[in-house]
Amino acid sequence: MHRSQGFTPLHSACDGGHRDVVVELLRAGADHTLVSWDGKTPLDVAGSRGLEGLVELLRQHAADRSTAVQVAARSSLVLVGPGGAGKTTLAVRLKAGNFEKQDPTHGLLVHEWSVPECEGQPPLLFSIWDLGGQEEYWSTHAFFMVREAQYVTVYNGRNNDKDCVDEYLHRIKLLVPGKAPLLVATRAWEGGFEAQEPPAPVLQAHGIDSKAIIRLSSETGQGVEQLKQAIISVAAKMSGPSDWLSQANLKVREEVGAM
């Protein structure tokens, strides 16, 4: 039983018999075990008021939490860039840790990347939104670009993709102003070639130092760890608290993820 916290909002809702408020407070993470100054939990308060419905609700909540599993908070990671830039192979490399040659994405693919707890860093779960870069899909990008997400602009470092990077960076700036741009050049060092850089005026316009461009190869894995750490560092500051899932809901999530 937790230490005294005075009369919490959950205590007050139970005292007043406000079932809907109790439900919302529990859903928002209110601690049902906190003790008021007079030694009562919310369950005790509901019982003293003869509110059997609330008593049963709180008992069921306590039972569910006793068998629940803490899972990672979910973050959204959006990959944008020209068609054929290597967004899908990069998403697979992040998710699975290996290289799988992929066809260009038409429309949208969503990948899940799980980062386990490490050295005090809580576990993280990323939904990677892999947006097709072909021009016919540009108009749909706005539907998937939200302020809470991280954005990675990806271009092929061995062709002329660098010349259209500005369009993607500008679109991100318009849709989600204030997001620090993260720029990735793929196919770096493959065959001894270094990744080309976008024109200096483009980098300057978006506040990007050329040294901050993450050069990597999804095929060899070189540079991928640097990108992972950059993404995790930002997510650790952005992500909310971990979620709690019942055993039944956890099983459903695992079954869906395996499909």
Q: Name the residue ranges covered by the structural domains of the chain.
A: 9-66, 71-238
Q: Name which residue leads in pLDDT, 107 or 236.
A: 236
Q: In sequence order, which residues have a C-beta less than 8 Å from that of residue 81 and are 6 or more positions away?
A: 87, 133, 153, 154, 155, 161, 165, 168
What whole-number percentage of the chain has pLDDT above 90?
37
Question: In the prediction, which pLDDT does 209 show?
Answer: 93
CATH class in words for 71-238: alpha beta
Q: In the CATH scheme, what is the homologous superfamily, with its name and number, of domain 9-66?
A: Ankyrin repeat-containing domain (1.25.40.20)
The upper half-sphere exposure of residue 36, i.e. CA atoms within 13 Å in the direction of its Cβ, equals 16
Question: In the prediction, which pLDDT does 255 show?
Answer: 54
Q: Name which residue leads in pLDDT, 87 or 28.
A: 87
Q: Which spans in 143-199 are helix H?
A: 165-175
| Location of structure tokens 């386990």 | 116
Mean pLDDT of 47-69: 86
Structure tokens at 218: 């999804």
| Nearest Cα residue to 217 out of 102, 81, 89, 78 | 89
pLDDT digits (tens, 9 = 90+) for 194-250: 889 999 999 999 999 999 999 999 999 999 999 999 999 888 777 554 455 555 554
Question: In the prediction, which pLDDT does 135 show?
Answer: 62
pLDDT digits (tens, 9 = 90+) for 170-191: 988 887 787 778 999 999 988 8
| Nearest Cα residue to 152 out of 180, 114, 123, 190 | 180
Question: In the prediction, which pLDDT does 192 show?
Answer: 79
Structure tokens at 206: 């978006």
